[in-house]
Structure 1
Amino acid sequence: MSTLQIGLAIIGGLVLAGVVAYNAWITRHSAPRLARERSTHPPGDPSGDETVPYSPEDLEGTEIQRIDPVLGDMPGVMRPDPAAIAVAAAAVSVNPLLNQPEKRPGLDALIDVITPLVLDHEVSGDALLAALPGTRRVGSKPFAVEGLCDASGEWETPRLGQRYRALQAGVQLANRAGALNDIEFSEFVVKAQAFADAVGAAPEFPDMRAEVARGRELDAFASGHDAQLGFTLRARRAAWSPGYVAQHAAKLGFVAGALPGRMVLSGSQMGQAPVLSLVFDPQAAMAEDPEQSALREVALSLEVTHVPRSEQPFVRMRQTAMALAEAMDGIVTDDAGQPLSTDTMDGIGADLESLYDALDSRDLSAGSAQARRLFS
Structure 2
Amino acid sequence: MTDTQLGALIIAGGFVGAVYAYNLWQEYRYKKQANKAFARNQDDVLINTPKNMVRQGDSQRLEPVLVGAAAGEDHEVAQIDEDQYAPSKIRYDEDMPDDIPDLPPSYHLAYASEPQYQPDVAGYTPDVALDNAELDEIDEGYPIADEVQDTPALSLIDSTLDFIAEIESEQPIMASDLPPFPASKRVQIIGLNQLSQWEVVNTTSRNRYQQLRIALQLADRQGPISQESLNAFYMGVQQFADEQGASVVFPQKSAKLAAAQALDEFCASVDVLIGLNLPAGARPIPMEKVRLHAEQIGMVRANDGTFQYRNAAGKLLFVLANQDQTPLMATSKGLTLLFDVPRVPGGLPVFDALVDFAQSLSNSLGLALVDDNGKALNPQSLANIRTQLAELYERMDERGIVPGSATALRLFA
TM over 0.5: yes
Superposition deviation, residue 322 in structure 1: 0.9
Corresponding position of 2:332:
295
Corresponding position of 2:299:
254
Corresponding position of 2:191:
147
CA distance in structure 1 between the aligned counterparts of 2:212 and 2:310, rounded to whole angstroms: 36
Corresponding position of 2:401:
364
User: Structure 1, residues 321-344: CA drift from partner, whole Å, max 9, x if none?
Assistant: 112112222221112111121001
Change (3 A) 1:360 1:187: same
Change (3 A) 1:237 1:227: same
Corresponding position of 2:283:
238
Superposition deviation, residue 72 in structure 1: 4.7
2:321 to 279, 297, 301: 279
Structural RMSD (CA): 3.3
Corresponding position of 1:81:
88
3-state SS in 2 of match to 1:332: coil
TM-score, normalised to structure 1, is 0.66
Corresponding position of 2:175:
128
Superposition deviation, residue 313 in structure 1: 1.8
Superposition deviation, residue 218 in structure 1: 1.0
Change (3 A) 1:120 1:244: farther
1:114 to 164, 168, 192: 164
3-state SS in 1 of match to 2:410: helix
Of the two structures, which has the highest relative contact order with CA contacts closer than 8 Å and spacing of 6 or more? 2
Alpha-carbon contact 2:348-2:390 (below 8 Å) kept = no
3-state SS in 2 of match to 1:346: helix
CA distance in structure 2 between the aligned counterparts of 1:189 and 1:341, rounded to whole angstroms: 54
Change (3 A) 1:245 1:193: farther
Amino acid at match of 1:156: V
Superposition deviation, residue 234 in structure 1: 2.1
Superposition deviation, residue 174 in structure 1: 1.2
Alpha-carbon contact 1:137-1:143 (below 8 Å) kept = no
Superposition deviation, residue 207 in structure 1: 1.5
CA distance in structure 2 between the aligned counterparts of 1:195 and 1:340, rounded to whole angstroms: 58
TM-score, normalised to structure 2, is 0.61
Superposition deviation, residue 237 in structure 1: 4.5
Corresponding position of 1:34:
none
Alpha-carbon contact 2:175-2:209 (below 8 Å) kept = no
Change (3 A) 1:247 1:192: farther
Alpha-carbon contact 1:122-1:164 (below 8 Å) kept = yes
Corresponding position of 2:223:
178
Amino acid at match of 1:148: L
Amino acid at match of 2:341: V
Alpha-carbon contact 1:242-1:284 (below 8 Å) kept = no
Change (3 A) 1:166 1:340: same
Alpha-carbon contact 1:115-1:204 (below 8 Å) kept = yes
Superposition deviation, residue 88 in structure 1: 2.1
Alpha-carbon contact 2:347-2:403 (below 8 Å) kept = no
Per mean C-alpha deviation after superposition, the further-off stretch among 320-329 and 212-221 is 320-329
Superposition deviation, residue 242 in structure 1: 4.2
Corresponding position of 1:212:
257
3-state SS in 2 of match to 1:212: helix
User: Structure 1, residues 200-246: CA drift from partner, whole Å, max 9, x if none?
Assistant: 53321221111111111111211211111111112345312444433
CA distance in structure 2 between the aligned counterparts of 1:179 and 1:195, rounded to whole angstroms: 25
CA distance in structure 1 between the aligned counterparts of 2:279 and 2:182, rounded to whole angstroms: 41
Alpha-carbon contact 1:119-1:200 (below 8 Å) kept = yes
Superposition deviation, residue 175 in structure 1: 1.4
CA distance in structure 2 between the aligned counterparts of 1:320 and 1:200, rounded to whole angstroms: 61
Superposition deviation, residue 131 in structure 1: 2.6
CA distance in structure 2 between the aligned counterparts of 1:87 and 1:346, rounded to whole angstroms: 32
User: Structure 1, residues 288-326: CA drift from partner, whole Å, max 9, x if none?
Assistant: xx43xx412111111110112357221111111112112
CA distance in structure 1 between the aligned counterparts of 2:364 and 2:90, rounded to whole angstroms: 37
CA distance in structure 1 between the aligned counterparts of 2:338 and 2:188, rounded to whole angstroms: 31
Is the counterpart of residue 156 in structure 1 residue 206 in structure 2?
no
3-state SS in 1 of match to 2:233: helix
Residues 303-318 of structure 1: matches in 2 within 5 Å?
A: 303-309=340-346, 312-318=349-355
Amino acid at match of 1:131: L
CA distance in structure 2 between the aligned counterparts of 1:179 and 1:315, rounded to whole angstroms: 33
User: Structure 1, residues 156-199: CA drift from partner, whole Å, max 9, x if none?
Assistant: 24362544342111111111222122111101112323443555
Amino acid at match of 2:167: L
Change (3 A) 1:243 1:121: farther
CA distance in structure 2 between the aligned counterparts of 1:264 and 1:146, rounded to whole angstroms: 35
Amino acid at match of 1:234: P
Amino acid at match of 2:261: R
CA distance in structure 1 between the aligned counterparts of 2:370 and 2:53, rounded to whole angstroms: 19
CA distance in structure 1 between the aligned counterparts of 2:193 and 2:168, rounded to whole angstroms: 14
CA distance in structure 2 between the aligned counterparts of 1:116 and 1:258, rounded to whole angstroms: 43
CA distance in structure 1 between the aligned counterparts of 2:362 and 2:254, rounded to whole angstroms: 53
Superposition deviation, residue 364 in structure 1: 1.0
